[in-house]
């Protein structure tokens, strides 16, 4: 098997070896215990997650007559939100095909309807446990203590996405999408000629601030320390930008405004002094976290928790594929997530074709 960045990836060429390998007594017992009840069908594809990546995978696998089941998650701003993070945004102007822009929830509603049109089954439940050590794979949506999985699948596409880390201060959740944002690329255009703040001190924060300086009248970076964590080149670019200023040793304690952002309340971490800063936008850039807890100990991950994939969308477990922000910490765009969802669907279809031949 080829080695990819320090991990072993099982190529499809070795599938026959995997399938034809003899089982020992313990494995035969385990396989018998996992044999599905007569009324529990084994599905060809189960997609966990339903953002642009998961629903694109659903469209493609449904059109391939694989009758995918999509476990879209439950409403939440901190995990696998049905429809993904676009459900928490307002207008999207950079998704191709929408000249006048489109509301995030409307766009994801169209994705969902298109997947259902071709026969995808979508359930509003949250996957609570998976077992990738046996075939067929097991997925639970109920109590994790249950011995019997809710669904069995020959292949799984993981599209649980990633979530932006938030400040957790009053006003933030209420004004998300109304002046509070976590994506400069998505929302920067809406703040043309307006003052904004960016919270954070790493590369992501400075990259967002530099991008936003193209639109905003001014950009104030609020950082809890005196030193930035960003790379030297990013620091030089931000410090030399005439539109960017810094507020050191400070934290945002509240986002102000109703019905949209009108300012932020800031506290000095040393003196405790508090003052309000009038701005029209607050961009939170303190990092992202992938929704991968479900797969800990079963799928290879980077130190940051993102799933390792390659070639294509394949993981270290043959028959399990990952797409979208759950494995992409670089681009994090709806269009790139949709593209990788297409890739995962094609990879899964080819895997199942090879499986049928054996």
Report, as residue numbers or ranges, the catalytic residues: 183, 186-187
Cα–Cα distance for residue pair 296/315, rounded to 1 Å: 13
In SS3 terms, 65-85 reads as CCCCEEECCCCCCCCCCCCCH
**How far is residue 154 CA from its own chain's centroid?**
23
Cα–Cα distance for residue pair 67/43, rounded to 1 Å: 8
| Secondary structure class of 203 (helix, strand, coil) | helix
Cα–Cα distance for residue pair 22/73, rounded to 1 Å: 37
Q: Residue 307: beta bridge partners?
A: 301
Rg (CA), the chain: 23
Phi, psi values for residue 130, rounded to 5°: -135, 150
Residues 45/154, Cβ–Cβ less than 8 Å? yes
| Secondary structure class of 232 (helix, strand, coil) | helix
Annotate 291-336 with DSSP letters as a single string.
Answer: S-GGGTTTS-B-TTSPBP--STTB-SSTTEEE-GGGS-SS---HHH
């Amino acid at each position: 098997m080829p080695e990819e960045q320090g991990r072993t990836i099982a190529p499809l060429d070795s599938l026959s070896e995997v399938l034809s390998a003899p089982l020992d007594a313990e494995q035969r017992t385990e396989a018998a215990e996992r044999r599905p009840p007569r009324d529990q069908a084994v599905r060809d594809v189960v997609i966990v997650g339903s953002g642009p990546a998961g629903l694109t995978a659903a469209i493609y696998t449904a059109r391939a007559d694989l009758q995918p089941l999509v476990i879209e998650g439950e409403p939440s701003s901190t995990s696998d939100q049905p429809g993904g993070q676009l459900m928490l945004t307002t207008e999207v102007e950079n998704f191709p095909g929408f000249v006048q822009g489109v509301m995030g929830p409307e766009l994801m509603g169209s994705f969902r309807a298109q997947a259902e049109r071709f026969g995808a089954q979508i359930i509003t439940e949250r996957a609570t446990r998976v077992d990738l050590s046996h075939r067929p794979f097991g997925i639970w949506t109920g109590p994790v203590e249950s011995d019997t999985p809710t669904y069995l699948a020959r292949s799984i596409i993981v599209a649980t996405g990633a979530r932006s880390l938030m400040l957790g201060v009053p006003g933030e959740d209420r004004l998300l999408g109304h002046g509070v944002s976590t994506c400069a690329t998505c929302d920067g255009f809406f703040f043309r000629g307006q003052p904004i703040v960016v919270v954070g001190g790493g590369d992501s924060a400075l990259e967002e601030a530099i991008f936003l300086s193209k639109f905003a009248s001014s950009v104030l970076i609020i950082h809890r320390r005196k030193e930035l964590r960003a790379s030297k080149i990013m620091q030089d670019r931000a410090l030399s930008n005439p539109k960017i200023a810094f507020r050191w040793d400070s934290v945002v304690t509240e986002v102000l405004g109703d019905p949209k952002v009108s300012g932020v309340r800031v506290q000095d971490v040393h003196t405790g002094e508090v003052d309000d800063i009038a701005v029209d936008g607050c961009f939170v850039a303190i990092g992202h976290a992938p929704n991968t807890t479900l797969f800990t100990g079963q799928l290879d991950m980077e130190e940051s928790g993102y799933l390792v994939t390659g070639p294509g969308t394949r993981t270290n477990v043959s028959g399990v594929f990952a797409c979208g922000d759950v494995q992409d910490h670089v681009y994090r765009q709806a269009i790139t997530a949709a593209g990788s969802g297409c890739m995962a669907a094609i990879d899964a279809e080819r895997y199942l074709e090879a499986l049928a031949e054996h």
